[in-house]
Amino acid sequence: MQFERKHILDMESLSAEEITFIIDTADRLKEISRRPVKKVPTLRGKTVVLFFYEASTRTRSSFEIAAKRLSADSISISKASSSMVKGETLIDTAKNIEAMNPDIIVVRHSSAGAPHMLARLLKTSIINAGDGMHSHPSQALLDIMTVREKKGSVKGLKIAIIGDISHSRVARSDITGFTKMGAEVVVAGPPTMIPKGIESLGAQVADSSDDAVKKADVIIMLRIQKERQNSFLYPSDREYSKIFGLNRERMKKAKKDVLIMHPGPVNRGVEISSELADGPYSIILDQVTNGVSLRMALLFLISGGIRNADTD
Ligand code: CP
């Protein structure tokens, strides 16, 4: 298939065929990261700007590594190191970046819809690296890639997403992405952290975290997004951990071949015990590894794929 998209903004706008094509491309690019010299000339001469208005470890570094492995030039701009601290608006900052002719701007912003707005206002390709509580498409794509790699297929699997669903862009993008790929998604967590109408995205709400764990082929644990909550939504970390956290006791109810995932950052001892985060069911670091090739695929495809690649 020909990938014709200029932007990657959310999972809603990607078809199952496009998701498969992106992940197939990422699978093919993965071996580059295993070479002694981890670099190909494919995006030589292209410029990627990483514009991160919010903190990030995994997304930012993997986009940067992905750009470098494809020989693109990349620069990073954070809120703290930009003139936004002097009062410059997001739009003015973005227009000034665009005036320097980058090919792709990767944006993370605390406001939902910021990347969509930039995609409307600018001519440059935009990749959403996480916008507020709305969407995190590259995370959902790497999650689907990792499950497909480990289980062979996503279709028919039961995916349990447990934790702070309300404030999680990963939850929204994973629900949309996994259901598009034919999986069944169940969510669980404190009632104060399950948004009304979540069923409209295609997820079912489990009766309890035990119930969600028992039936799941894949368990995705989420941290409590305290930075996005403006009131106390649970009594204490200890109580949360006991009722909703993944620990040795709760895992006794899980299937023998279950996979444990987490988008990170992990709050050990709250949503998941260290023993399970580091244990044999955990594929948390596989997600991070796949994040590089998945983001290489996005940069490659958004740049026009093989048509615009440097093949020297
Ligand atoms: N999963 C994720 O978005 O992690 P970072 O916030 O570290 O990028």
Burial class (CB in 10 A: 0-12, 13-18, 19+), 249: exposed
- Compute the distance between CA of residue 156 and CA of residue 153 in angstroms, rounded to an integer: 8
Task: Find the mean pLDDT for residues 4-12.
Answer: 97
Closest residue to atom 3 of ligand 1, CA basis: 59
150 is an annotated ligand-binding site residue: no
pLDDT in tens, 99-108: 999 999 999 9
User: How does residue 304 score in pLDDT terms, banded at 50, 70 and 90?
Assistant: confident
Record the tokens describing residue 181, joined without a space.
Answer: 């790929």
Pocket lined around ligand 1, Cβ cut-off 6 Å: 56-60, 130, 139, 263-265
User: How does residue 230 score in pLDDT terms, banded at 50, 70 and 90?
Assistant: low
CB 129, CB 56: distance < 8 Å: yes
Residue among 65, 101, 59, 94 at smallest CA distance from 77: 94
User: How does residue 36 score in pLDDT terms, banded at 50, 70 and 90?
Assistant: very high
Q: Percent of the chain having pLDDT more than 90?
A: 90
269 is an annotated ligand-binding site residue: no
The sign of the CA dihedral 174, 178, 194, 268 is negative
CB 188, CB 166: distance < 8 Å: no
User: How does residue 26 score in pLDDT terms, banded at 50, 70 and 90?
Assistant: very high
Q: Given this model, what pLDDT does residue 185 score?
A: 98
- Compute the distance between CA of residue 223 and CA of residue 267 in angstroms, rounded to an integer: 6
User: How does residue 312 score in pLDDT terms, banded at 50, 70 and 90?
Assistant: low
Residues 89-97: contacts with CB under 8 Å, at least 24 apart: 90/53, 90/114, 90/117, 90/118, 91/117, 91/118, 91/121, 93/51, 94/51, 94/118, 94/121, 94/122, 95/121, 95/122, 97/49, 97/51
CB 272, CB 223: distance < 8 Å: no
136 CA: nearest ligand 1 atom? 3
> Any idea which of 120-134, 144-158, 212-226, 297-311 has the lowest mean pLDDT?
297-311
User: How does residue 234 score in pLDDT terms, banded at 50, 70 and 90?
Assistant: confident
* DSSP per position, 292-306: HHHHHHHHHHHTTGG
The sign of the CA dihedral 225, 226, 231, 237 is positive
Q: Percent of the chain having pLDDT more than 70?
A: 97
Tell me how far CA of residue 285 lies from CA of 136, 185, 266, in angstroms: 18, 22, 11
CA 101 to chain centre: 27
Taking phi over 0 as left and psi of -120 to 50 as alpha, with beta for the rest, 281 belongs to alpha
Q: Given this model, what pLDDT does residue 2 score?
A: 85
Task: Find the mean pLDDT for residues 284-307.
Answer: 94
User: How does residue 1 score in pLDDT terms, banded at 50, 70 and 90?
Assistant: confident
**pLDDT tops 80 at residue 305:** no
- In order of their start, the domains of the chain are 16-135+289-307 (3.40.50.1370), 137-287 (3.40.50.1370)
- Compute the distance between CA of residue 11 and CA of residue 304 in angstroms, rounded to an integer: 20
Longest Cα separation, the chain: 60
Average pLDDT, the chain: 95
pTM confidence score: 0.95
Q: Residue 106 C-alpha to ligand 1 middle, in angstroms?
A: 14
108 CA: nearest ligand 1 atom? 8
Q: What is the DSSP letter of 30?
A: G
Record the tokens describing residue 41, joined without a space.
Answer: 């000339």
Question: Which position has the token pair 């949309």?
Answer: 176
pLDDT in tens, 161-219: 999 999 999 999 999 999 999 999 999 999 999 999 999 999 999 999 999 999 999 99
Query: In one letter, which amino acid is 138?
Result: S
Q: Residue 109 C-alpha to ligand 1 middle, in angstroms?
A: 12
CA 110 to chain centre: 15
139 CA: nearest ligand 1 atom? 1
Task: Find the mean pLDDT for residues 279-304.
Answer: 97
